[in-house]
Amino acid sequence: MSKIVAYLRASTDKQDLNHQKLELLEYARKKSLSIDEFIEITISSRRTSKQRRIDELLERLDEDDTLMVTELSRLGRSTSEVLTLVNSLALRNVRVIILKQNLDVSKHDMTSKANLTLFSLFAELERDFISLRTKEALASKKRQGQVLGKPKGTIQKSKFDNNVDKIKELLGYGLSMRKIAKVLGYTNHIALNTYVNKRKLKIK
């Protein structure tokens, strides 16, 4: 028997999940649908598909099932990722309902698939505009004489800072970077070497 699965994702605010659930339940009520399962996660879109429970979602959806989501951006971290996911579900004969974009995508519905492609093009265009505006703003500041970026010589915090005294001590014994990294439990002696050089910790 086919089922309806709703996917809800928010970056940080738990209340946003409740808002999404209310939207989905209201839509289902109006369309005389019944949501069987809710998959909820509060996590950044930058996390892996497994961490975002997308892998779990794909495993739960079978042929003739329906996926409901409030908007396209909940499903992925990029336009291409979302498009690939939705198209793969349509090929499996899984219906995908996206409330905000007013899309109802199925394998045989060419109109909704065409609309989905248009949304992706608009999203790409908007990103291009944002990138262009950012570059223009930076160029304008540069022309006005503003110094961009961090001041020259700025030293960022490092994970090695906690052991800086120990590093100095081991350097004083003449140990190699590889051995110092091993003693202190670091796996990357090259990064440690870069840190020592930037901080000028080597004893001449």
**What type of residue is 131?**
S
Lowest mean pLDDT across 31-35, 58-62, 177-181: 177-181
**Predicted pLDDT of residue 59:** 92
Distance CA 95, CA 173 (A): 67
- 4-122: CATH homologous superfamily? Resolvase, N-terminal catalytic domain (3.40.50.1390)
Both tokens assigned to 57: 């979602």
| Residue 150 scores a pLDDT above 70 | no
pLDDT at 182: 85
Give the Cβ contact number of residue 191 at 10 Å: 15
Assess whether pLDDT exceeds 60 at residue 174.
yes
Q: Which residues pair with 104 in a beta bridge?
A: 97
14-32 pLDDT, tens digit each:
668 999 999 999 999 999 9
The per-residue pLDDT for 125 is 63
Query: In terms of DSSP H, where are the helices of the chain?
Result: 14-30, 54-60, 79-91, 110-143, 164-172, 177-184, 189-199
Contact assessment for residue 168 and residue 201, using Cβ atoms and an 8 Å cutoff = yes
Q: Average the pLDDT over each of 73-77, 79-83, 98-102 and give the range with the smallest value.
A: 79-83
Domain ranges (residues) in the chain: 4-122, 159-199
Question: Are the C-beta atoms of residues 23 and 16 closer than 8 Å to each other?
Answer: no
- On whether the pTM is more than 0.75, the answer is no
User: What pLDDT is recorded for position 164?
Assistant: 87
Cα torsion angle, 118, 34, 5, 9, sign? positive
CB under 8 A, 24+ apart: contacts of 165-168:
167/192, 167/196, 167/201, 168/201
Better-predicted residue by pLDDT, 128 or 39: 39
Least confident of 55-59, 73-77, 99-103, 125-129: 125-129
**In the chain, what percentage of residues exceed pLDDT 90?**
27
Q: pLDDT tens digit string along 182-191?
A: 888 888 888 8
Specify the pLDDT at position 14.
64
Spatial separation of the C-alpha atoms in residues 126 and 137, rounded to whole Å: 16
